[in-house]
Amino acid sequence: MTTAAPGLSTRMDDMREYQQFAQFYDALMGDGSSRSARILEAIDHFNVDATSLLELGCGTGSVLEGLASIPRLVGLDTSAQMLSAATAKVPSAELVLGDMTNVNLGTTFDVVACVFDTVNHLVNYESWESLFAGVARHLRPGGLFIFDLNTIGRLHQLVASPPWVHDFDGNTLIMDVRSDGDEVTLWDIRVFAPAGNGGFRLHQENIRELGVALDTVRTTLATDFHLLREEDDSGGPPSDESSRAYFVYQRLA
């Protein structure tokens, strides 16, 4: 079931990321089982009795699909096309069309997750602060906030790299990441798909990501949360030069 979030912001009209890309998303990104497993491991490790979970930026439902053992699943996303795919994949989940920086579902959860660098898509830090405040509103005391992000160093590395070309399912992807100023990167994503006349149809997205220093994130979260775990891809302490940083926070009482 898909519903519109209460207080849905008009800013949604300007958030068109992944509208064209949704149909190719799973083929390119693979399943979300590794991300689901990371969430379940954190729940088990920190001994949280999780009967409800909210995923912010749930996309096509690939992560929610691997969390079916949790009785109540809610996913929120700005893309109706993504939620349409999620409806077929996770029919038991409640899916909400909404802006993760400005939503009030009127309930709390045992776990809130925001994975696969979803937070980076907010291209000013005030929006990150709004997201974190919303997580605090929607998380019960003692509940877990599990998220990851692309670091400043990782985004700089992508800007310095040549465009990535990838063939999949008869389609060709070309992705070029470049600087858009003030630690914002612009991801020019083009998918050339076969057309009936023997040519190709172009599907193009321009997606932006913001890089933020990890200490800035830690300082913001310290008001409402206690840090339980942070690590990089190797399991060591993350830095601004790590490829990705993973966090588990606990909502303060």
Q: Residue 5 — very low, low, confident or very high, per pLDDT cuts 50/70/90?
A: very low
Q: What does the angle CA 222 – CA 224 – CA 228 come to, to the nearest 5 degrees? A: 60
Q: Which pLDDT score is estimated for 197? A: 82
Give the contacts of 69 (CB within 8 A, at least 6 positions apart): 40
Contact, 57 vs 100, CB < 8 A? yes
Q: Does residue 96 have a pLDDT over 90?
A: yes
Residue found by looking up tokens 């003030």 in the block: 182
| pLDDT digit string, tens, across residues 103-154 | 899 999 999 999 999 999 999 999 999 999 999 999 999 999 999 999 999 9
| pLDDT digit string, tens, across residues 206-238 | 999 999 999 999 999 999 999 999 999 999 999
Q: Does residue 11 have a pLDDT over 60?
A: no
Q: Which pLDDT score is estimated for 4? A: 53
Q: Does residue 85 have a pLDDT over 70?
A: yes
CATH numbers and ranges of domains, the chain = 2-150+212-251 (3.40.50.150), 153-209 (2.20.25.110)
Q: Which pLDDT score is estimated for 252? A: 98
* Coil, strand or helix at 51: coil
Share of the chain above pLDDT 90, in %: 79
Q: Does residue 253 have a pLDDT over 60?
A: yes
Q: Which structure tokens are listed for 225?
A: 């949360």
| pLDDT digit string, tens, across residues 13-70 | 334 445 556 667 665 666 789 999 999 999 999 999 999 999 999 999 999 999 999 9
Q: Which pLDDT score is estimated for 32? A: 81
**How many other C-beta atoms can be found within 10 angstroms of the C-beta atom of residue 246?**
20
